[in-house]
Amino acid sequence: MAVSTHTFQAPKGTRDFYPDDMAVRRYLESVWRRVSVNHGFDEIDGPTFEHLDLYTVKSGPEIVSELFSFRRAGGDTDYALRPEFTPTLARMYAARANALPRPTNWFSICSFFRAERPQRGRLREHFQWNLDVIGEDYPRADARIIAAAVDVLDRLGLTPGDVQITLNHREDLEAMLSHYGFDGSRLVEAIALVDAVSKLPADEFRRRALDLGLDAGRWDEFAGALACRQHAAQGCSMEHLQPLHEKLEEFGVLPWCTYAPSLARGLAYYTGTVFEVHEVSGTERAVAGGGRYDNLVELFGGPPTPAVGIAMGDVVIRLLLKDKGLLEPARDFRPRPDVFLICSGKEVAEQRFESLLASLRRADLHVRHSSRSTRNVGKLLGEAARVRARCAVILGDELEQGHVVVKDLDTGEQSDAVPVDGLADRLKKDLAGAAGSP
Amino acid sequence: MAVSTHTFQAPKGTRDFYPDDMAVRRYLESVWRRVSVNHGFDEIDGPTFEHLDLYTVKSGPEIVSELFSFRRAGGDTDYALRPEFTPTLARMYAARANALPRPTNWFSICSFFRAERPQRGRLREHFQWNLDVIGEDYPRADARIIAAAVDVLDRLGLTPGDVQITLNHREDLEAMLSHYGFDGSRLVEAIALVDAVSKLPADEFRRRALDLGLDAGRWDEFAGALACRQHAAQGCSMEHLQPLHEKLEEFGVLPWCTYAPSLARGLAYYTGTVFEVHEVSGTERAVAGGGRYDNLVELFGGPPTPAVGIAMGDVVIRLLLKDKGLLEPARDFRPRPDVFLICSGKEVAEQRFESLLASLRRADLHVRHSSRSTRNVGKLLGEAARVRARCAVILGDELEQGHVVVKDLDTGEQSDAVPVDGLADRLKKDLAGAAGSP
């Protein structure tokens, strides 16, 4: 059969995760999951593909070109690979709104898809953490989302000097736009324009702003207001953000926050707070983003329900962590073996090797061994150290007396006559003890 | 906008995972992952969709109708949602064959898709554990795969009385078919026929078998041979399975194994061992299945490489575990909170509640609290017990003296004057100590 050369490669914009890469992905997921659980959120998931309508309801028919959509052969239903989680979340909440607690605290970690041209920081398939509070009002729920995001950044080894969460409130933004003369009936357009400020040439931006009503004599002042940033530790001068500021102070996360009167976020459905996480130099894309969306659950068939959420993809945060040296060496993110089993003897040791290996694993120990045929204990201990095994168990001639050698690879301590009977229990006890010590 | 009623439901054959269901899914995944790691396997993953060709290369063009396939709008490349993992695995191995260790031990846990009519035990999207040894010969690698599968079944609470792994060897099967007169040049058809034995009416099966060369006078004998089962603990009378039998004995897993001379598995690419995991009554579909596929890596552009693997989906095993009462109550599979925080006092307690909550979470504790407004400590302790919190921290009037009440919800012990300063460290120490005790 004729096969194109591309067949044996991953599709453009997708990734193969070999073990080192996969270990880093699991590390990231484990931080997301642990923080979510600690903060009182429950994990959910939906299907990888949804009815296409679910996305056009929220975003209009223009979304279709950005989606991977398909039908079953001979079927008449259009599906799409999910590009984001919010429609699934709103649908699931709406379906059980009456039975769910208030607030409902949900998180999810799953794959999302975009049919766009792949570029730095943006792939066709990526993994994303979603964290949402449904049924709790501003500002407490918003502050809880920010506090959990801070906890994630902190655990990943980042500091407020590396990343900042920029915040704004749609009502503060609208008040500012009105203040500078923007047409109150075209605020959605004005917000979209502000969102695009960094992507447009300055004169093009100015022309469009004037067209939307900006008072021409106040252009300089308006441009200055857009560029303004206020670090949260220095207080909050924005009226609608003030209540959130007080909660963020109570939660102890002000050092991580910056107020940005121009932060817009393009999506039309945000109704209050909006926020983004950026590397402080601002050179990469946003690490995470979110906001309050009080009208969305209703749009998906549920009762009127306030809600706020954040999403963090795996692509930009990995670039950032790598850049900061926080993912090196990748090998260290793999699970540490409890035991590295070494055969240094002949006959008895060889005969017992496989059954001892099997019995240690059945006892819930993570056991590795060399795939090389060498009997050089020094070389094999070197291999054990490279995979970061916690201890080595050496089967030598002592096995004839029913003994093995156990070497603690963290402390270097060696026990030369450990009974092979009850070995698994003994190792588990030693390892549990060591885990508790510094 | 007109929206079909189905828009707000998950697509047919897919699932919404609300928290209890999700917790069970994570439990299953955690057992798969832990066993895989203990047994020396490294986790990998590939894209959720692949080039369509990747599947037609292996399975021929007839596979297309069973796949969800699609193109990007305006694009000319055909993609398909992955229906199984083996082509991705073989592609990834082939791409780095020279740099990878021998054997390479890989596992993955991810979503797979089938465009078939959904039915009991078979959905359009399901999760599946894949475990493969690449580059190691029969029988050791095969026995390692079986031993890991046994470990999974055992940890899930199943026994050899609940499930059995049925095994066969393609060469034993071929020898049997030849023995009964089947045409040696049509063995692929004969194997497919044997695989379909339970799905065909007896006379139809007989007619086809005779057409493929079965010696008419030996029909009864052949039918008897097909129905034959030999429990591994009673020995192995099959020539090509004998070396595997010895390894399985060494690994201590014979009680879980049954030899079945008629086990065929439909897929043409198996080259040696084939196996399936079944509930002993045989009423449900197979829980897991796999075999040796020594020619597949080469088909995907790699060097000739022996390989063997198993796959277990989440759908049938969940039905089975549920049936055995091993997933009840689902709520118990959720993560246990470390602390349930209760506000029983006024003023100081109310003022400190939010910041104490935030600081305990920042200290890596899983902290929950009631969303109800009651101050009834008895009711709140009841809620803490229902979510299986390990301890309750009660903020009452003692907080004016800098103290809180801590109640261990496992032992019932209560400490009435625990200093609020250093509370997180104290709780973590207590909880770590309790985890070590029985």
Q: How many Å lie between the alpha carbon of A230 and the closest alpha carbon of chain B?
A: 24
Which of A8, A96, A127, A131 is the mutation pick for testing B, counting most B CBs within 10 A?
A: A8
Stretch A410-427: mean pLDDT, rounded? Answer: 95
The verdict on a CB contact (< 8 Å) between B252 and A111 is no
* SS3 at position B374: coil
Question: Which residues of chain A have a CB within 8 Å of the CB of B10?
Answer: 46-47, 50
The separation between CA B299 and the C-alpha centre of its own chain, rounded to angstroms, equals: 27
Closest CA to B257 of B172, B167, B317, B152: B167
Stretch B268-291: mean pLDDT, rounded? Answer: 91
The verdict on a CB contact (< 8 Å) between A366 and B38 is yes
Q: Say whether residue B303 is in contact with chain A using an 8 A CB cutoff.
A: no
Which of A12, A51, A134 is the mutation pick for testing B, counting most B CBs within 10 A?
A: A51
User: Residue B359 is which amino acid?
Assistant: S
- Kind and range of the H or E element at B43? strand B42-43
Specify whether the CB–CB gap between B243 and B139 falls below 8 A: yes
Could you tell me which chain A residue has the CA closest to the CA of B105? A19
The verdict on a CB contact (< 8 Å) between A43 and B23 is yes
Rounded CA-CA distance B143/B324 in Å is: 27
pLDDT tens across A297-338, in order? 999 889 999 999 999 999 999 999 999 999 988 889 999 999
Assigned token pair, B191: 């194997």
pLDDT for residue A6: 60
The verdict on a CB contact (< 8 Å) between A1 and B57 is yes
Torsional sign, CA B21, B23, B28, B32: positive
- Kind and range of the H or E element at A379? helix A377-386
pLDDT range class, residue A346, cuts 50, 70, 90: confident
pLDDT for residue A7: 61
Q: Say whether residue A365 is in contact with chain B using an 8 A CB cutoff.
A: yes
pLDDT over threshold 90, residue B436: no
Kindly report the pTM of this predicted structure.
0.95
pLDDT over threshold 60, residue B5: no
The verdict on a CB contact (< 8 Å) between B38 and A9 is no
Rounded CA-CA distance A367/A353 in Å is: 12
Q: How many Å lie between the alpha carbon of A411 and the closest alpha carbon of chain B?
A: 22
Rounded CA-CA distance A319/A322 in Å is: 5
The separation between CA B283 and the C-alpha centre of its own chain, rounded to angstroms, equals: 19
Which A-chain residues 168-197 have CB contacts (< 8 A) with chain B?
none
- Write down the H helix ranges in A294-347: 296-299, 314-323
CA angle B229, B231, B235 (to 5 degrees): 115
pLDDT over threshold 90, residue B92: yes
pLDDT for residue B127: 98
Of A225-234, B279-288, B305-314, highest mean pLDDT = B305-314
pLDDT for residue B2: 45
Q: How many Å lie between the alpha carbon of B22 and the closest alpha carbon of chain A?
A: 6
Q: How many Å lie between the alpha carbon of B364 and the closest alpha carbon of chain A?
A: 7
Specify whether the CB–CB gap between B153 and B163 falls below 8 A: yes
pLDDT tens across B368-408, in order? 999 988 889 999 999 999 999 999 999 999 999 999 999 99
Which of B9, B29, B32, B45 is the mutation pick for testing A, counting most A CBs within 10 A?
A: B45
Closest CA to A100 of A57, A63, A47, A136: A136
Q: Which of B11, B48, B79 sits opposite A111 (nearest CB)?
A: B48
pLDDT tens across A209-261, in order? 999 999 999 999 999 999 899 999 999 999 999 999 999 999 999 999 999 99
Specify whether the CB–CB gap between A357 and A369 falls below 8 A: yes
Q: Say whether residue A22 is in contact with chain B using an 8 A CB cutoff.
A: yes
pLDDT over threshold 80, residue A368: yes
pLDDT range class, residue B4, cuts 50, 70, 90: low
**C-alpha Rg value of chain A to the nearest Å:** 28
Could you tell me which chain A residue has the CA closest to the CA of B331? A42
- Write down the H helix ranges in A2-132: 19-38, 53-59, 86-95
pLDDT for residue A46: 98
Q: Which domains does chain B have, with CATH numbers?
A: 13-47+82-323 (3.30.930.10), 335-432 (3.40.50.800)
Specify whether the CB–CB gap between A310 and A139 falls below 8 A: no
Could you tell me which chain A residue has the CA closest to the CA of B372? A102
Among B152-156, B189-193, B426-430, the minimum mean pLDDT is found in B189-193
CA angle B250, B251, B255 (to 5 degrees): 100
The verdict on a CB contact (< 8 Å) between B6 and A51 is yes
The verdict on a CB contact (< 8 Å) between B251 and A22 is no
pLDDT range class, residue B345, cuts 50, 70, 90: confident
Q: Which of B47, B69, B91 sits opposite A15 (nearest CB)?
A: B47
Q: Alpha carbon of A105 to those of A190, A307, B330, B339, B355: distances in Å? A: 33, 10, 18, 17, 19
Rounded CA-CA distance B182/B191 in Å is: 10
Q: Say whether residue A354 is in contact with chain B using an 8 A CB cutoff.
A: yes
- Give the number of other Cβ atoms within 10 Å of residue A288's Cβ: 22
pLDDT range class, residue B334, cuts 50, 70, 90: very high
Stretch B410-430: mean pLDDT, rounded? Answer: 95
Q: What percent of chain A stands above pLDDT 70? A: 97
pLDDT tens across B23-63, in order? 999 999 999 999 999 999 999 999 999 999 999 987 788 88
Which B-chain residues 31-50 have CB contacts (< 8 A) with chain A?
34, 37-40, 42-50
The verdict on a CB contact (< 8 Å) between A54 and B362 is no
Q: Which of A43, A57, A250 sits opposite B19 (nearest CB)?
A: A43
pLDDT over threshold 70, residue B6: no
Q: Say whether residue A200 is in contact with chain B using an 8 A CB cutoff.
A: no
Beta strands B307-313 and B367-369, pairing class: unpaired
pLDDT for residue A2: 45
- Write down the H helix ranges in A270-347: 296-299, 314-323
Specify whether the CB–CB gap between A91 and B8 falls below 8 A: yes
Which of B3, B4, B8 is the mutation pick for testing A, counting most A CBs within 10 A?
A: B8
pLDDT for residue B438: 40
Could you tell me which chain B residue has the CA closest to the CA of A432? B436
Q: Say whether residue A151 is in contact with chain B using an 8 A CB cutoff.
A: yes
pLDDT over threshold 70, residue B142: yes
pLDDT for residue B266: 73
The verdict on a CB contact (< 8 Å) between A364 and B38 is yes
pLDDT tens across B209-267, in order? 999 999 999 999 999 999 899 999 999 999 999 999 999 999 999 999 999 998 988 77
pLDDT over threshold 50, residue B318: yes
User: Residue B337 is which amino acid?
Assistant: P
- Give the number of other Cβ atoms within 10 Å of residue B413's Cβ: 11
Q: Say whether residue A23 is in contact with chain B using an 8 A CB cutoff.
A: yes
The verdict on a CB contact (< 8 Å) between A1 and B37 is no
pLDDT for residue B31: 98
pLDDT for residue B339: 98
Size of interface A-B (CB pairs under 8 A): 230
pLDDT over threshold 70, residue A435: no
The verdict on a CB contact (< 8 Å) between B4 and A34 is no
Q: How many Å lie between the alpha carbon of B272 and the closest alpha carbon of chain A?
A: 22
pLDDT over threshold 90, residue A434: no
pLDDT for residue A214: 94
pLDDT over threshold 60, residue B437: no
Q: Which of A18, A57, A366 sits opposite B3 (nearest CB)?
A: A57
* SS3 at position A238: coil
Q: Say whether residue A285 is in contact with chain B using an 8 A CB cutoff.
A: no
- Write down the H helix ranges in A180-241: 187-195, 202-211, 219-227
The verdict on a CB contact (< 8 Å) between A65 and B53 is no
Q: How many Å lie between the alpha carbon of B433 and the closest alpha carbon of chain A?
A: 9
Q: Which of B46, B247, B436 sits opposite A16 (nearest CB)?
A: B46
Indicate the average pLDDT of chain A: 93
The verdict on a CB contact (< 8 Å) between B366 and A301 is no
The verdict on a CB contact (< 8 Å) between B49 and A38 is no
Which B-chain residues 77-136 have CB contacts (< 8 A) with chain A?
77, 79, 81, 88, 91-92, 94-96, 101-103, 106, 111, 113, 115, 125
pLDDT for residue A425: 96
The verdict on a CB contact (< 8 Å) between A251 and B79 is no
